[in-house]
Structure 1
Amino acid sequence: MISKEHITNRFINYVTIDTESDPNSDTTPSTKKQWNLANKLAEELKTIGMQEVSIDENAYVMATLPSNVELDVPTIGFIAHFDTSPDFTGANVNPQIHKNYLGGDILLNKEEQIVLSPDYFEDLRLYIGQTLITTDGTTLLGADDKAGICEIVSAMEYLIKNPEIKHGRIRVGFTPDEEIGRGAHKFDVKKFGADWAYTMDGSQIGELEYENFNAAGAVVNVKGKIVHPGYAKGKMINSMYIATEFINSLPRMETPEHTEGYQGFFHLCAVKGKVEETTLEYIIRDHDRKHFEARKEVMQKLTDELNNQYGSEVIVTEIKDQYYNMREKIEPVLHIVDIAEQAMKEIGITPLIKAIRGGTDGSQLSYMGLPCPNIFAGGHNFHGRYEYVPVESMIKATEVICKIAELTAQKPVN
């Protein structure tokens, strides 16, 4: 199918373009440098023979592979994002290729003695004998989600070159700013025109996901009073101590470092404080909608209790929902998950159907009217210096896309 050299070169070509997004920006895309890859992708889609290629004023890229069957079959889509996380630098990415991985430590950076080790990252042992692409230890890699883009473009190119593979109309979409939660905000679902789609944004080979967290963000603002510390008795109110009470009153074991699977959490992301004022930033996550609502109630109840304790409104908590579990929107059309599962099995992949401990553009798109499960793109250890992707996983993901297209063409529209 796709050669290792071809898909490796395409992937490296993408990840060496800096596309880090910025949560503090109010533009779309949030950084001008995202345009560099967006424009490149639009031109590349034209070059490989895609039709109806467009790039809008917000850098959303879309294109069409026309149907080559006479039957009226569903239009499907494949979506990935081209921005990288602001959690770790994506500038000057220097990919390292490790052929025939033997299962031991990989020295990423000799000068700084940065090592990617299976003793800590056990999943490495799944890929013994394969070709791994890593960072040089000083940046993230960008497999999240440039691996997904690479696979979608490669699959479209393969289908164009092999017209004997029958498929319906296929739409592809590449988005900015997914890493800061805005990837779907300006996605034109009507223009995209698909019956359903798949985001190629998962991790380990075989992952197939149609459940994700319900999510909210909370900002807790604590007011204090500053007076001269030498004359502060009975007068000073130190907002940092009250903020500490708030932090310690939430369930300590219901945090990211103590939870897994379907367990939700409260996550304290940032603290900024002085005597006069302290601000806490939280994210709230839970797969179960009732538990999610209960977590928000816990924070509000704690706010009320501390305000009653101090006899005034020293704490104001603002909670805003961010996205919801897409399972609610996928279950009525569960056949779209079945197709992806069958596609994996037919090319020798064991599907790993599980819930995402995070969010995805697919969640927001599902609530916008475009049901959108998530499929593996192959990368591991996203958002940091230990990120890597097996080339063989990218090839398999490309094959999955082609097989989904083929299977969908066998299911006429009712």
Structure 2
Amino acid sequence: MSTKKFPNLVSQFLQYVKFETQSCRESQDEPSSPNQLKMAEFLVEELKSYGLEDAHIGKGGVVYASLDAAKGFEDCPAIGLIAHMDTSPDAPAVNIKPQIIQVETGDVLLNPEKQIYFRENDFPEIKKYVGQEVIFTDGTTLLGADDKAGVAAITACMAYLKDHPEVIHAKICVAFTPDEEIAKGTVNFDIPCFGADYAYTFDGGEIGTLETENFNAATAMVTIKGVVVHPGLSKGKMVNSIKLASRLIGAFPEEQAPETTEGYEGFIHPNKIEGTVAETSVRILIRDHNKEKFEAKKTLLKDLTRKLAEEESRADISLTIKDSYENMRPYLEKTPKVMEIVREAYRQAGIPISEEPIRGGTDGARLSVRGLPCPNVFTGGLNYHSVYECIPIPSLEAAAEVALSLVKLSAEVKTLK
């Protein structure tokens, strides 16, 4: 893709990643971290400069903006473009130092001082991008391409439309959400305020991927209260909650762990444990594309917890399970036209399509369940939620190209039926 079409795309992206917008699972604030509002305020002013004069921050920190339809195309269904501003809490995200490196065969030295390498053997997919300029970090933080690459693709598209008023299109609705990484991106999302009849999240992975189904997801919390006695006098008396938590985790089937599964295979994943002898809590993610298998995993966790409580009756063990989001596929199947449009956008942008399930979730999944069909488009990044996160520049440009193709196609859509 030519950088001439989106001349400020890379600089925009590099500016966005400097905002510290890591979301916080433990926070009750909306958004969960105040710095997300700083980026929201910046984006509002940027969108206004592109002619989206109604850009504003709504409840909870969601950014909304719209661009009127070209004259004569006001009756076309309004299209929505969505990305999220926050970055994952699963890796360091403060003082991000992006760098552009042209990839050649072999390992990439990210940090000479700390001798941090991006190892080709560990991340073999990088071989597909030999000869391309790729944006990395210095190996000490994540990059934030998830999902500031999506934000950049959308704003670059808006900038293009400002410079090319001859492009005809339906009404365009733009939204940038906070807290997607902690499953709260759409808690305050106002669909009527947004104004779109159908939409696309730009929050996917490698170039060409198109995602129309995702995990059913739930989060479980197990709390174990033990019995504390001085360790020197504890024989037959102490009940160590840490050891009980370890026993529970050890009972999880290894073939249902994220590190042993792929594709449509779901998992049970303990991703946080903290505690003392007296009390330990374990947070567990439950995921599966298949609804029946998803429910079976919940049942398995309930059975394992109950068995542990029976084996150690002196402990107080509790379990809560809260659903996070559903698979969007059954909801997207109700409006197949939305998928036809995005597939055509890939073709017009010259991007081969690779449709695959998301091993996670998106704001689009939650919005699809709420009645706004919203498939997920690639942004081009690799190794999200990791200090080895990176994004090839041509892939980022391709995401912006798909956004522009969707906008142009919107003028041809007369109905979603």
TM-score tier after normalising by the smaller chain length? over 0.9
The alpha carbon displacement at 1:311 in A equals: 4.3
Query: AA paired with 2:310?
Result: N
Deviations 1:131-187 (A, max 9, x none): 211112222111111111111011112123223322111100011111121111111
The alpha carbon displacement at 1:69 in A equals: 4.8
Distance 2:380 2:362 in 1: 16
Corresponding residue number in structure 1 for 2:157: 155
Query: AA paired with 1:302?
Result: L
Counterpart mapping for 1:243-322 below 5 A: 243-311=245-313, 314-322=316-324
Deviations 1:279-310 (A, max 9, x none): 22111111111111111111112222233334
Larger CA deviation: 158-167 vs 287-296: 158-167
Match of 2:66 among 55, 64, 83: 64
**SS in structure 2 at match of 1:253:** helix
Distance 1:248 1:35 in 2: 41
Corresponding residue number in structure 2 for 1:84: 87
**SS in structure 1 at match of 2:382:** coil
Larger CA deviation: 53-62 vs 348-357: 53-62
Corresponding residue number in structure 2 for 1:337: 339
> What percentage of aligned pairs have identical amino acids?
45
Deviations 1:2-28 (A, max 9, x none): 536521111111111221222221111
1:69–1:409 CA contact under 8 A, matched in 2: no
**SS in structure 2 at match of 1:25:** coil
Distance 1:307 1:74 in 2: 55
Counterpart mapping for 1:4-403 below 5 A: 5-71=7-73, 72-99=75-102, 101-311=103-313, 314-403=316-405
Distance 1:140 1:384 in 2: 5
Deviations 1:384-404 (A, max 9, x none): 221111111111111111111
Unaligned runs of 5+ in 2: none
Larger CA deviation: 20-29 vs 231-240: 231-240
Query: AA paired with 1:73?
Result: C
Distance 1:238 1:88 in 2: 30
Larger CA deviation: 78-87 vs 123-132: 123-132
- Distance change (3 Å), C-alpha of 1:94 and 1:250: closer
Deviations 1:194-249 (A, max 9, x none): 11111101110011101111111111112222234444444333333332332222
**SS in structure 1 at match of 2:44:** helix
Q: If the length of structure 2 is used for normalisation, what is the TM-score?
A: 0.94
Deviations 1:331-374 (A, max 9, x none): 11122122111111222211110100011111111122211111
- Distance change (3 Å), C-alpha of 1:272 and 1:65: same
Distance 1:298 1:385 in 2: 33
Distance 1:81 1:208 in 2: 17
**SS in structure 1 at match of 2:218:** strand
Distance 1:305 1:58 in 2: 41
Query: AA paired with 1:61?
Result: V
**SS in structure 2 at match of 1:372:** coil
Unaligned runs of 5+ in 1: none
The alpha carbon displacement at 1:314 in A equals: 3.2
2:84–2:179 CA contact under 8 A, matched in 1: yes
Query: AA paired with 1:34?
Result: Q
Distance 2:56 2:242 in 1: 51
Distance 1:314 1:32 in 2: 37
**SS in structure 2 at match of 1:102:** coil
**SS in structure 2 at match of 1:350:** coil
Aligned length: 413
Distance 2:366 2:79 in 1: 17
Query: AA paired with 1:92?
Result: N
The alpha carbon displacement at 1:322 in A equals: 1.0
Distance 2:131 2:82 in 1: 30
Distance 1:49 1:292 in 2: 45
Distance 1:274 1:18 in 2: 32
2:18–2:96 CA contact under 8 A, matched in 1: yes
**Superposition RMSD on alpha carbons, in Å?**
1.8
**SS in structure 2 at match of 1:185:** coil
